[in-house]
Homo-oligomer: A and B are copies of this chain.
Amino acid sequence: MAMDTDTAQRQVLDAADGLFYERGVQAVGMDAIRTASGVSLKRLYQLFPSKDALIEAYLDRRDALWKSMLADHVDAATDPRERILAVFDFLDDWFRQRDFRGCAFINSFGELGTVSPRVAELAMQHKEGFRQALTELSKAAGAADPERLADHLILLSEGAITRSAISGSPDPALRAREAAVLLLDATLPRD
């Protein structure tokens, strides 16, 4: 009758993801997660020894999921320039999801950045991973200064994320893509 450990863990993480992302980490109590997951408080606390641990697991999973969604979009293209632009198609897809609420890492950092070094660190690592991905793509596209191009593309992406979250419209993804085209035209060697 006892639900096995793996599915219990998954259900807790599913519930945490939905609630934390929608309402913010501080606004969601452990009781809400217990109700949404159907996993008792006792079990919940033996799977995750504290709310902080659960928040960390939530962010870890988001990071992995996000990276894999990004990779799926990028890998659907072969031309190096198209692979860069695929990043913005990915953003467009993401922004169109009904539950889109901005970047979980930015949101969590805003809530806990000053008080939880762990959350601050996870946010930095997540963003650093994105930066490295963009640097690779820029290198593959033949940019003379791939790190710089990556930085410019990140700014457009992050800007699109927060603008889309606040405005509630997916448009910023298109605007960011346009701007990226201009930047690529100005930066990459002609072909």
- Which residues from chain B contact A127 at a C-beta distance below 8 Å? 163, 166-167
Mark A108-130 against chain B: 1 for CB-CB distance below 8 A, else 0: 01111111000010011001000
Partner of A157 from the list B22, B24, B159, B165 (CB cut-off 8 Å) is B159
- Which residues from chain B contact A155 at a C-beta distance below 8 Å? 155-156, 159-160, 163, 172, 175-176, 179
Mark A130-164 against chain B: 1 for CB-CB distance below 8 A, else 0: 00000000000000000010011011111111110
- Which residues from chain B contact A182 at a C-beta distance below 8 Å? 152, 182-183, 186-187
A16 within 8 A of B: no
A106 within 8 A of B: yes
A23 within 8 A of B: yes
A52 within 8 A of B: no
A107 within 8 A of B: yes
Task: Decide: A166 and B27 in contact? CB cutoff 8 A.
Answer: no
- Which residues from chain B contact A111 at a C-beta distance below 8 Å? 24, 26-27, 107, 110-111
Task: Decide: B148 and A178 in contact? CB cutoff 8 A.
Answer: yes
A191 within 8 A of B: no
A-B contact list, 19 entries, CB within 8 Å: A23-B115, A24-B111, A26-B26, A109-B165, A110-B110, A110-B165, A113-B166, A124-B166, A151-B172, A152-B175, A154-B163, A155-B156, A156-B156, A158-B158, A159-B159, A159-B162, A182-B182, A182-B183, A186-B186
**Interface of A toward B, CB cutoff 8 Å:** 22-24, 26-27, 101-102, 105-107, 109-115, 120, 123-124, 127, 148, 151-152, 154-163, 165-167, 172, 175-176, 178-179, 182-183, 185-187
